[in-house]
Amino acid sequence: MPTGPSSLKDALSRATSMIESGDVDGALELLRTEAWAAAENNSHKVQVISLAAEAKIAKGDIDMANRKAHWQDAHNSYQRAQKLEPSNKEIRRAQNKLASMMDEQSISLGKGWQLFDDGNPTPTGLAAAFVGLMVFLVAFKFAGESLEQPLESTDVTLQVSYIHPDDPNSRLEGEIVIQLYASEAPKHVENFLYLVDNGMYDSTIFHRIIDGFMIQGGDIDDMNGAGGYAGIWYGYCNGQISGSNGEIYTSENCPRSDWTVPDEADNGLLHEPSVIAMAKTSAPNTGGSQFYIVPTDSTPSHLDGVHTVFGKVTSGMNHVDAISKVATGGSDKPVEDVRLIQAYRS
């Protein structure tokens, strides 16, 4: 039974009816907009996310050719809900039920295999343990070589939704896959992944878009470019390590909304088409959660050495380029929201 404000209950009820009638896409759109806006706390958000997971499961039953992707997406949603409310047994049961369904269909869980259930190894877990043992026994042969290899990059997928610039009546959805450069920008990558893993980018927007320059998003506070902060404490409070009285800032005396990431802009990475970089103020060490992606027709070299490049788009640049050309109004804000529906590790 849905709980929360009447607007949330109404949106969840209508979304449920839409799922039951087969209008899954309509239900997901309602959940992403109206229901999410009505959610006032984590418990409310869990209701929205878990119902979205149910919709994605139903979509997998309708769109059989893409069932794998829909069910993996649903499993990711249950994981997000579990993080927001770890003690919610209903979410865990639903997630485990879906995992069993996926196992029957030989569908991987997307972010990894389920090795344990209530402390007991699953069949997949037992197999993984065996494989792990074999790998361990031969690992010494390659240990010296592997230690010399650079830290592997990590891929993150951004699910986006936007109005096509050439068709104002058509809202499109797509995926932008980003390879992160952990060796060149370790703090920025660590911070970005923390925000991704904790669902903090989900349901935000790209609030500033300039054709021929960049598309900017990641304001996890107000979604208007005025907010956003680092998810991890790096010793900088709004770019400073100490206050005007000389007191050294700590995670205790600096409001979390002022946590920032130190610059890593001298890492040799340049502002070329398709890179992702950290947005910040004109002051050093003021990056937080906001980022921007450079479209194909832009090479903003004047930002080299000033803003930290920490990754590059490997798939989905067609969406980046299309988004860069959407209609905008005041402060370069899109007339129709360009939504970052979900960000997750690929």
| Full residue range of the structural domain in which residue 320 is found | 154-345
Per-residue pLDDT for 146 more than 50?
no
**What is the tens place of the pLDDT at every residue in 318-343?**
999 999 999 999 999 999 999 999 99
The pLDDT value recorded for residue 76 is 81
Strands 171-180 and 309-315: antiparallel
- Residue 278's CATH number: 2.40.100.10
Q: Are residues 86 and 213 in the same domain?
A: no
Evaluate whether residue 122 is within a structural domain.
no
The pLDDT value recorded for residue 75 is 84
Q: Are residues 325 and 265 in the same domain?
A: yes
Evaluate whether residue 137 is within a structural domain.
no
**What is the tens place of the pLDDT at every residue in 205-227?**
999 999 999 999 999 988 889 99
Query: Would you say 181 and 152 are in contact if contact means Cβ atoms under 8 Å apart?
Result: no
Q: Which of 56, 78, 112 is the last residue of a domain?
A: 112
Q: How many domains does the chain have?
A: 2
Query: Would you say 338 and 162 are in contact if contact means Cβ atoms under 8 Å apart?
Result: yes
pTM of whole model > 0.85? Answer: no
Query: Would you say 40 and 11 are in contact if contact means Cβ atoms under 8 Å apart?
Result: no
Which of 219, 225, 200 has its CA nearest to residue 42?
200
Q: Are residues 42 and 100 in the same domain?
A: yes
Query: Would you say 9 and 17 are in contact if contact means Cβ atoms under 8 Å apart?
Result: no
Q: Which of 87, 112, 137 is the last residue of a domain?
A: 112
Report DSSP state, residue 65: G
Compute the mean pLDDT over every residue in the chain, rounded to the nearest whole number. Answer: 86
Evaluate whether residue 126 is within a structural domain.
no
Report DSSP state, residue 32: I
